[in-house]
Amino acid sequence: MTGTTGPVGQGYATLVPTNSYVLGPGQIGYQLSGAFYPIPTTQLGNVARVDQVYGNDSTAYIGGLPYATIPAAITAIIGSGAVATPQYSNTTIWVLPGTYNISPTGTNATITTSVGATLYPLLQLPATTALRGLNVQTCVIQCANPTQNTALFYIAANTRMEDLTLVLGSSGYAGSNNLVGMYFNSTSTVTSKVRTTVLSLCNAAMPYTSSNDLYGVQFDGIGGSYSTFSFNCYKGSTVNVYGNGSGNKRGIIVTNSNIATLRDTNVYVASPPTNSNFAGSYVGIEAADSNNVGSIQLRSTTVGTIQPTGAQTYTASDILQTNPTVITNPTYLASPGIQIGPGTDLVTKTAGGKGFSSYVYPTTIFYGAVGTLNTSGNPGTGTPAYLWPGTVTIHGSGGQFIQYPDITSPPAYYRIQQPAILAGMSVSLNTAPGTGHTTTLTVRRTPFGGSIADTVYTIVMSNSTTVATKYDASVNFAPGDFLHMRISYDANANATQDIAVQLDLF
């Protein structure tokens, strides 16, 4: 005897042809021909699923059956609109586990950056759209062999991306095209966010005689203020750039008048040891806005590069503030450019010889010389005089005193114990040198096992000047290096009195 037919409705399965029957919410349909396997049709509202296993671009739709590719999901969201104004706003693209290979060619229009370069964006994340992977470990979006100047992602305003691994290029990629992992334009730098992603760029197989630019993340937008810190547009992520040959290799770069904020982020830029004879520039984070406004703030962030050794001719630094070149106030959040916030670690303690601003209280070396400088007599230009750390009274060589500033050899020094960056210098006098006279203070460096030499840190006090500062440069000091403070003045008639010198080391 046949029993009663079970209920069919929400939450139940039924064997029906999916092309002739509209399933209710939560139902599962089955194919009538071929293998009987389920086709998920759970309704998810404004969600475009992308599934490498079950996806089909020809049958997928937003809220229902999954897409096979990310470009198809993006195209569906844009609809009859545009990247900046998609037809389906506030939509999430949900990427299920898989490796999604992106074709290096397509129909997207090229973009021109603020520095005049032209890029072809493989994927354009529409405004008000979120792109989220199920897990950063298992959801990979990659283009291993770009064929032109390429940006893997163009980030529009009011978007969010998270839980994805992104790859542009590969260890076998030999092309010399310029590559950008993520390109932020317009107001996206302050309205869009990236979370828990791993981004890798690589052109390790490019001949070392060739040249290209590799930018992990390029912030090329507008908006924001260097005095605020609430955006956190890039957080909890890793940026790896493995470059070869000449050109600029950057983990993150700011090229327009915007503000980018990083938190809990790791940035690593390295050069494959294929050949030492190339002159590329390898930098973790650079501020390079020609408007002298663009800024980047780092908090709980680690930035590292590989320093050249021996015959290697490329240059490298953890950070590089190309613009602005002048820092009027090194206090945190007081000037544009690179701002080192709390918890930030520069692995090799290098800044490319440029200045930067820092929240971190610096290590300070203080030199004080109390009294009138001409009391000691002028040792002349051929006999360098040096200050000792701490405060010492100025006096001549007569009686029980040794002449100070010190003219003995070897010169007075401060030994550097850990890698450090000399990031600032300030000088004050109670009495200026006087009309027609100068007093010059110069930081000198003796590298471990090397010879003493001047650094760029020189301050000249002339005429009526009593206060001067310098924060627009940086000097790297390695463990075992000696730091010296040289002082020179033009004549015994020099009226300089009571000298105070402060050096700030990061």
CB neighbour burial string for 423-449, b if at least 16 within 10 angstroms, e if fewer? bbbbbebeebbbeebbbbbbbbbbeee
Question: In terms of domains, do 369 and 347 share one?
Answer: no
Looking at 333, 358, 383, the residue that finishes a domain is 358
Question: In terms of domains, do 157 and 181 share one?
Answer: yes
Looking at 358, 392, 413, the residue that finishes a domain is 358
Question: In terms of domains, do 344 and 419 share one?
Answer: no
Question: In terms of domains, do 297 and 422 share one?
Answer: no
| Whole-number Å distance between alpha carbons of 95 and 47 | 10
Any domain includes 39: no
pTM of the model: 0.82
Over residues 410-425, the pLDDT tens digits come to 999 999 998 899 999 9
Residue type, 505: L
Any domain includes 49: no
Any domain includes 495: yes
Q: Are 203 and 243 in contact (CB under 8 A)?
A: yes
pLDDT at position 329: 80
- C-alpha atoms less than 13 angstroms from C-alpha of 429 in its C-beta half-sphere: 23
Question: In terms of domains, do 379 and 466 share one?
Answer: yes
Question: In terms of domains, do 262 and 306 share one?
Answer: yes
Question: In terms of domains, do 187 and 138 share one?
Answer: yes
Total domain count, the chain: 2
Any domain includes 92: no
State mean pLDDT over 248-257: 96
Question: In terms of domains, do 193 and 306 share one?
Answer: yes
pLDDT at position 489: 87
The pLDDT of residue 141 is above 70: yes
Q: What is the CATH number of the domain that holds 497?
A: 2.60.120
10 Å CB burial of residue 489 (0-12, 13-18, 19+) is buried
What are the beta bridge partners of residue 504? 364, 424
Question: In Å, what is the CA distance from 462 to each residue of 149, 406, 440, 501?
Answer: 52, 22, 8, 16
Question: In terms of domains, do 124 and 152 share one?
Answer: yes
Q: Which domain holds residue 253?
A: 97-358
Any domain includes 435: yes
Any domain includes 419: yes
Any domain includes 228: yes
Any domain includes 47: no
Question: In terms of domains, do 340 and 367 share one?
Answer: no
Looking at 358, 382, 412, the residue that finishes a domain is 358
Over residues 90-106, the pLDDT tens digits come to 999 999 999 999 999 87
Q: What percent of the chain has pLDDT over 90?
A: 68
pLDDT, mean over the chain: 87
10 Å CB burial of residue 182 (0-12, 13-18, 19+) is buried
